[in-house]
Amino acid sequence: MRVTVHEVRLTQRHVWRSAREAIPVQPGLVVEATHDGRSGFGEAAAFMTASYRSELPQLHADLRRVAPLLAAVDPYDDPARTWRTLADALPESPFVLAALDSAVHDLHARLRGVPLWESLGLDRPQGLRSSFSIGIDTESVMVHKLDERPGWPAYKVKLADPGDLTTLKALRQHTDAPFYVDGNCGWEHAPTLAALGQLWDLGVRLLEQPYPRDRWRHAIELKAVSPFPVIADESMTGPGDLTACARAFHGVNVKPMKAGGITPSLDILRRARERGLITMLGCMPESAAGVSATAHLGGLVDHLDVDVLDLLAVNTGSGPVLDGTGRVTLPDRTGSGYRPDPQAAGWSVRATSVDQIRPLRDLLPVTTEAGFPHAEADLLPSSRHYVALEAGRTVGTVTVHRERFPDADRDTDGPRGDLWRIRDLVTTPKARGTGAGTALLRTALTHTALAGATTVWCHAPGPAAGFLRRGGFTDAGRPGTGPHLMHWSPR
């Protein structure tokens, strides 16, 4: 099994706001696992980075760290067994674990020629409908968001303060559907208790995570008096939280990215149903690459919350179809059904063909560097080309491929093992200073690590040396090689 990584930058039709934060742009990774000409996909968002160790550099570092384990994965084996191996190696990296688990499950189902729900031993999900989320904004904007999407079965409304019900009253004038209110850990206990009656009168029929995760005593007290179910979200991070959540909440919102993947989510949902808990299935800020697998668990839950497919202004491809009233239809395809679209505007760095990179690469000055010339390097089986994209336009490129270290035959002290070269990293003038070059470099280096590289080397003429040092490269420091020769090791 070969694993490749791509970067994404997602925006929504409206800036997403909750009691916790505002998200104008959501970066993340799409992981692609390939075997026998088929690919499975998973996704990890750089979201709530302080809580989930999910900064983009950390996501890349965690992928590089488990590269030897991934190289040994048999995609025909039980994905749950693979998950257990990876979970031991990624105890504090649930998003990377989830992306890999989803990709392996997706690939496994595609290799079997069946949809993911069947591969998981589930019945085909029927009659799926999602709630529609309305982020915090001015009253007029929130009403406009609802009016844009009439006829959904329920509306999940973000509220920063349980005592401020003006917006909820305004929304009630535009729909008879039930409200699910989400406090996103931002509410205080006394005002919440005082507002319960009014919330019920306004049609609130479910409350999600009003208090911070550590307020277990308050959650237990609220559960005892609430006229509507209270559902855990941030308190439900993985299988180990289920017992505590069962005491403090009426139900749980399971998000596969947060739980660590499809494998633990399936376990949580089954055990939650055995305990008689209300179940909700949700998602993080992610594209169809991640949501597609999640939707295959929809038949196990009481409430489905995958409206991110509708909220996004950009995407990375197609998966489940979400119609204008919240009906969710799984595609009639194998695996998760996700189909990447190279032209979609959600990609920021992705692997591509040499034909797409040549126009920009031709802007590079002609050099007399030793090693494979372009024409030969492009034909190497190991060659991989990446583009940086801005709103679908190519703004940078880079190429990596296997190539021995210069003068390797004459130098017994040089690096040995699986040697790769990175070359032709170029960005357009307008893209310089935007982070496009850094994104290209880290993605290309993660690819080499996942491919088994022990050392990556490059020529670094002029100011490129400083840029590469910031990216982790060091000077080779060998006589006769010149100060511009640099190298990097994933471990």
**Which helix (H) or strand (E) covers residue 89, if one does?**
helix 79-89
What's the pLDDT band for 483 if we cut at 50, 70, 90? very low
Q: What is the pLDDT of residue 36?
A: 96
Query: H-helix or E-strand containing 166?
Result: helix 166-172
pLDDT above 50 for 391 = yes
Q: Is residue 347 part of a domain?
A: no
Q: Answer whether residue 341 is part of any domain.
A: no
Domain that holds residue 401: 353-488
When pLDDT is cut at 50, 70 and 90, the band that residue 407 belongs to is low
Q: Are 360 and 457 part of one and the same domain? A: yes
Given 119, 149, 170, the domain boundary residue is 119
Q: Comparing C-alpha atoms, which of 59, 89, 54, 56 is closest to residue 72?
A: 89
Neighbouring-strand partners of residue 388:
349, 396
Range 83-106 average pLDDT: 97
pLDDT of amino acid 50:
85
The dihedral through the CA atoms of 350, 353, 359, 361 has a sign that is positive
Q: Take residue 188 and report the two structure tokens written for it.
A: 């205080």
First-to-last C-alpha distance (Å) of the chain: 21
Task: Give the chain's mean pLDDT.
Answer: 91
CA distances from 63 to 16, 336, 445 (A): 28, 22, 11
Residue 181 belongs to domain with CATH number:
3.20.20.120
Q: How far is CA 27 from CA 16, 167, 353, in A?
A: 14, 30, 23
Beta carbons of 460 and 486 less than 8 angstroms apart: yes
Two tokens at 132?
């529609």
In one-letter notation, the amino acid at residue 399 is T
Handedness of CA 342, 35, 257, 310 (dihedral sign): positive
- Regarding whether 357 and 295 lie in a shared domain, the answer is no
Q: Quick one: 362 and 312 in the same domain?
A: no
Residues 186 and 309 in one domain: yes
Structure tokens at 62: 């965690």
Dihedral sign for Cα 85, 89, 91, 97, please.
negative
Which run of H or E residues covers position 28?
strand 26-35
Tell me which DSSP letter residue 274 carries: H
Say yes or no: 249 and 287 in one domain.
Answer: yes
Q: What is the CATH number of the domain that holds 437?
A: 3.40.630.30
Residues in the chain: 491
pTM, whole model, 2 decimals? Answer: 0.93
Handedness of CA 74, 80, 83, 88 (dihedral sign): negative
Angle, to 10 degrees, between the axis of helix 94-112 and the axis of helix 56-65? 60
pLDDT at 367: 46
- The CATH number of whichever domain residue 95 belongs to comes to 3.30.390.10
Q: What is the pLDDT of residue 462?
A: 73
CA distance 236 to 232: 6
Asked if residue 124 belongs to a domain, the reply is no
Same-domain pairing of 331 and 395: no
Is 445 found in the same domain as 301?
no
Q: Are 110 and 136 found together in one domain?
A: no
The answer to whether residue 273 is domain-embedded is yes
Cα–Cα distance for residue pair 162/198, rounded to 1 Å: 10
Number of domain units in the chain: 3
Same domain, 332 and 358: no
Judgement on whether residues 384 and 331 belong to the same structural domain of the protein: no
Would you say residue 342 lies in a domain? no
Q: What is the pLDDT of residues 252-303, one digit of tens each?
A: 999 999 999 999 999 999 999 999 999 999 999 999 999 999 999 999 999 9
Asked whether residue 224 falls in the same domain as residue 308, the answer is yes
